[in-house]
A and B are shown apart, each in its own frame.
Chain A
Amino acid sequence: EIVLTQSPGTLSLSPGERATLSCRASQSISSSSLGWYQQRPGQAPRLLIYGGSNRAAAVPDRFSGSGSGTDFSLTITRLDPEDFAVYYCQQYGASPYNFGQGTRLEI
């Protein structure tokens, strides 16, 4: 079973700043099987990044994903007020398709 550990647990930043969120896997995974999701309060999660670095439909280009092996990251440049939410990484290459515990991005 692949365990994903996200850091930091909470990230406090201001609009206009840059955010870097980390996701570390307990064993090497293919970047093609790594996704990132955003969840705003009271809403369902939304796919942001699939295949490690591909933006999903309608996702602004200030969101980018990178990484390989066991270390992956989500970068948000020029934070917008609507970006303050919880972010999850997930691996979907091998069952169980575990999620990380989440990073809360707060103002």
Chain B
Amino acid sequence: EALLVESGGGLVQPGGSLRLSCVASGFGISTFDMNWVRQAPGKGLEWISHISPNSGVMSYADSVKGRFTISRDNAKNSLYLQMNNLRDEDTALYYCVRRFDHWGQGAQVTVSS
């Protein structure tokens, strides 16, 4: 069974940084596009970043471009999201998503002073 487990969330002050990790099990990520999707409290889904299997293509939503960096380590079966210069509006549950067919349970990020 394909499983994605996020970690690294928490409470951070505005302007701070966090790094989310996502470890996959039950399958190898090396052949899959991977994504991060977030959901602010009580709101809808927002796609924020994508990375191709060999890391050759990366894309970002305008809301995070220049502040967030997606990366992956296929040997460790892991996906990452480095989040810098965090803002209040980045408060959300962050999902690691394989293509768009398998979703993790999410990591909570709260940005507040």
Interface residue tally for chain B (C-beta within 8 Å) = 18
Across the interface, A95 reaches (CB within 8 A) one of B50, B104, B105, namely: B50
Across the interface, A45 reaches (CB within 8 A) one of B45, B59, B62, namely: B45
Please tell me if B44 contacts chain A, counting CB pairs below 8 Å. yes
Closest-by-CB residue of A relative to B62 is A96
- In contact, A44 and B104 (Cβ under 8 angstroms): yes
Give the A-binding residues of B (Cβ under 8 A).
35, 37, 44-47, 50, 59, 61-62, 95, 100-106
Closest-by-CB residue of A relative to B45 is A99
Q: Is the interface of B mostly helix, strand, loop or mixed?
A: strand
Across the interface, B45 reaches (CB within 8 A) one of A47, A50, A88, A96, namely: A88
In the assembled complex, how far is the CB of residue A47 from the closest CB belonging to chain B, in whole angstroms?
Answer: 5
Give the B-binding residues of A (Cβ under 8 A).
35, 37, 39, 44-47, 50, 56, 86, 88, 90, 92, 95-102
A96-B59 in contact given A45-B45, A90-B47 (Cβ < 8 Å): yes
